[in-house]
Copies of this chain bind each other. A is one copy, B any other.
Amino acid sequence: MQIYKAPIREYEFLLDVFGYDEVMALEPYEAYDREVVSDMLEQGANFFTNEFLPLNKVGDQEGVTYDPKTYEVKTPTGFKELYQKCLEQQMFGLVQNPEYGGGGAPEMLGVIFSEMGTSTNKSFSMCPGLTRGLIESLEAHGTQELKDAYLPKLVTGEWTGTMCLTEPQCGTDLGLIKTKAVPEGDHYLLTGTKIWITFGEHDMAENIVHLVLARLPDAPEGIKGISLFIVPKFTLDGERNPVNCGGLEHKMGIHASPTCVINMENAKGWLVGTPHKGMRAMFTMMNNERLGVGLEGVSLGEISYQTALSYAKDRRQMRSLDPAKQDPNAKADCILVHPDIRRQLLNIKSTNEPMRAFAYWVAQMIDISRHHPDESKREGCDKLVQLLTPIVKSYLTERGCQNTDSAMQILGGSGYTQDWCIEQYFRDLRIAMIYEGTNHIQALDLVGRKLPRNGGELYMAFNEHLSQFIRENKEDEAMKEFLEPLKATSKKLMNATMNLGAKAMEDREEAGAVASNYLNLFAFTIMSYMWCRMVKHSLGQEGKYFKTKIKTARYFFNNVLPEVETLVARIDIGKKYMMDLEDDEF
């Protein structure tokens, strides 16, 4: 049994909270007014619920299959047909460039559609997600010729894309890449093996275009000698390129998403961007990809919460501890009456809502950073996006896994069986803490790259943004109970940031040792800020919906936020006791 109803009320609420009007006012987005958006959301919700969701469980159970004779990969029953339906309904390319057939919609809408797609079928949704990364790299760094040849088919989804980074000897450490690219005429011949290639081979589209990191013959060693190429399964003149699937990984989850070994033997490839500058070109599309992965935590947290809530309202076990709440017409009460069930539900609800807000806020800033007429506004938003991206990716996936796990616990034994699919949601989500840069790599990106940049200008921009909000609201008595803990948390973050900066200058291991906990402290500051934004919008409004928001915020500030005490203590301790053991003492 799968339970899902698209949380459109939440989406509309967040468009209000963050001021979608500001996005709509940007020149390229004018067509997407609120009425258009409402229609789109409703239609999208219907499509995802009716078409994506029914294939979710079958995808998990059948999985993908590989034929070693033909190197072909077969997707589960119905996936090919669903992909065709998506093409017909123009479900892909919503946020892409209209020049190449995209919808030109703001990211702020894109994330909503991503969320619904991932909630209802994560494995399937990964395919267009990856294609998007290719599109953005190509658009930013490809020649006009390559763009004209590939983008129209990629944007509509007729062709799909992959990201070929990892090799057996290197995942996190891409400096160790060995795949070679040798020039031949206007193109290159690529030879090497790539692993973990999502949708590296499948039967849903007529062509697959791989974005490949490789080394030119004269490349310097390490990370500064990597170039970027596209390697299509079929070249533009229809020739089958020797880029083949060599096998599939067998994984904990996302069974319907093929994770391929990709072998290239003198496969034709075309250079994207400048020789040896491939890593930089890759990073241009990382922000969106990482936002997308963070959003997976919200998506599966959402459907898991809905499932657990539905179960809790239906399942009757034990009596309420408060005699007044006991149902006289039954022998037991619905488990929603029990404090611990409510505690677990509220742990999910009170974190998933600000996590969604966080993702949407970042999406809004991406829109502004791209299209605002005022350059300083564009730059200001871009700084925040740079700073916050590793936090979105890491925190939302980590908490999302916890939330999905809590939802499973609410169902007891039923959560552990395949009947309610919660165990699948957990298995499908668990990879999000690992791929697209493990969560600790995100933490190192935050403390090692983002914080020190230009003397800390990114953090200062964040702090100024936050201080401004606090100043603007400090006279509001009703905001006080929420603003105070936000101020206290941001002060803890400020102290930790200063100490970290001082320590890390002397000893980089200190930064590495506390990075993960520091990232989470930062995330709690943002979660508190998100709640304040949502509360601010809800205060004084009529209707239960807004009152619930305020109650949920109170739960967050009183019951969830105390986690920062532990984080602060751990950051204070630093590396001392973890570096104390010799290798053979572990």
Is the beta-carbon distance between B569 and A551 smaller than 8 angstroms? no
* Contact of A565 (CB < 8 Å), options: B415, B433, B562: B562
- Interface hits, A316-360 → B, CB 8 Å: 316-318, 321-322, 331-332, 336, 338-340, 342-343, 345-346, 349
> For residue A443, which residue of chain B has the nearest CB?
B340
Whole-angstrom distance from the CB of A544 to the nearest CB of chain B? 7
9-residue interface stretch from A147-155, A374-382, A572-580: A572-580
10 pairs of A and B residues whose beta carbons are closest in the complex: A562-B569, A339-B513, A252-B423, A565-B565, A321-B508, A173-B317, A339-B512, A548-B585, A555-B577, A250-B418
Q: Does A284 belong to the interface (CB within 8 Å)?
A: no
Enumerate chain B residues within 8 angstroms of A434, measured Cβ to Cβ: 409, 412-413, 415-416
Q: A170-B317, A340-B443, A413-B171 are in contact. Are A580 and B551 (CB under 8 A)?
A: yes
Q: Does A440 belong to the interface (CB within 8 Å)?
A: yes
| Chain B proximity mask over A438-474: 1 for CB below 8 Å, otherwise 0 | 1110011000000000000000000000000000000
Known A176-B317, A413-B431, A562-B566; 10 more pairs at CB < 8 Å: A171-B413, A176-B332, A222-B331, A321-B512, A339-B509, A340-B512, A412-B438, A413-B435, A544-B585, A559-B570
Enumerate chain B residues within 8 angstroms of A516, measured Cβ to Cβ: 340, 343
Enumerate chain B residues within 8 angstroms of A250, measured Cβ to Cβ: 417-419
* Contact of A586 (CB < 8 Å), options: B309, B412, B558, B580: B309
Is the beta-carbon distance between B171 and A412 smaller than 8 angstroms? yes
Enumerate chain B residues within 8 angstroms of A405, measured Cβ to Cβ: 401
| Chain B proximity mask over A541-568: 1 for CB below 8 Å, otherwise 0 | 0001001100110110011001101100
Enumerate chain B residues within 8 angstroms of A312, measured Cβ to Cβ: 586
Q: Does A132 belong to the interface (CB within 8 Å)?
A: no
Enumerate chain B residues within 8 angstroms of A345, measured Cβ to Cβ: 586
Is the beta-carbon distance between A252 and B339 smaller than 8 angstroms? no
Q: Chain A residues in contact with chain B, CB under 8 A?
A: 166, 169-173, 175-176, 196, 222, 249-253, 309, 312-313, 316-318, 321-322, 331-332, 336, 338-340, 342-343, 345-346, 349, 401, 405, 408-409, 412-413, 415-419, 423, 426-427, 430-431, 433-435, 438-440, 443-444, 507-509, 511-513, 515-516, 544, 547-548, 551-552, 554-555, 558-559, 562-563, 565-566, 569-570, 573, 575-581, 583-586
Enumerate chain B residues within 8 angstroms of A342, measured Cβ to Cβ: 578-579, 581, 586
Is the beta-carbon distance between B570 and A555 smaller than 8 angstroms? no
Copies of this polypeptide in the complex = 2
Enumerate chain B residues within 8 angstroms of A423, measured Cβ to Cβ: 251-252, 430
Enumerate chain B residues within 8 angstroms of A416, measured Cβ to Cβ: 251-253, 430-431, 434
Enumerate chain B residues within 8 angstroms of A309, measured Cβ to Cβ: 586
* Contact of A252 (CB < 8 Å), options: B418, B573, B583: B418
Whole-angstrom distance from the CB of A294 to the nearest CB of chain B? 17
Enumerate chain B residues within 8 angstroms of A566, measured Cβ to Cβ: 562-563, 565-566
Enumerate chain B residues within 8 angstroms of A562, measured Cβ to Cβ: 565-566, 569-570
Is the beta-carbon distance between B321 and A417 smaller than 8 angstroms? no
Question: Can you list 16 A-B pairs, Cβ within 8 angstroms, ordered by A?
Answer: A169-B316, A176-B332, A251-B417, A251-B418, A252-B417, A313-B583, A321-B511, A340-B443, A346-B577, A401-B405, A412-B438, A544-B584, A548-B585, A551-B580, A562-B565, A565-B569
* Bound complex: CA A431 to CA B411 (Å): 12
Is the beta-carbon distance between A176 and B412 smaller than 8 angstroms? no
Whole-angstrom distance from the CB of A447 to the nearest CB of chain B? 11
Q: A418-B252, A559-B573 are in contact. Are A166 and B413 (CB under 8 A)?
A: yes
Q: A252-B418, A339-B513, A577-B555 are in contact. Are A176 and B331 (CB under 8 A)?
A: yes
Q: A322-B508, A516-B343, A585-B548 are in contact. Are A580 and B565 (CB under 8 A)?
A: no
* Contact of A322 (CB < 8 Å), options: B252, B509, B547: B509
Whole-angstrom distance from the CB of A515 to the nearest CB of chain B? 7
Q: A340-B513, A566-B562 are in contact. Are A581 and B251 (CB under 8 A)?
A: no
Enumerate chain B residues within 8 angstroms of A321, measured Cβ to Cβ: 508-509, 511-512
> For residue A575, which residue of chain B has the nearest CB?
B339
> For residue A512, which residue of chain B has the nearest CB?
B339
Whole-angstrom distance from the CB of A466 to the nearest CB of chain B? 23
> For residue A431, which residue of chain B has the nearest CB?
B416
* Bound complex: CA A558 to CA B579 (Å): 13
Whole-angstrom distance from the CB of A249 to the nearest CB of chain B? 5
* Bound complex: CA A508 to CA B548 (Å): 25
Enumerate chain B residues within 8 angstroms of A577, measured Cβ to Cβ: 346, 551, 554-555, 558-559
Is the beta-carbon distance between B435 and A409 smaller than 8 angstroms? no
Q: Which one of A408, A580, A584 has the highest number of Cβ atoms from chain B below 10 Å of its Cβ?
A: A580
* Bound complex: CA A533 to CA B87 (Å): 66
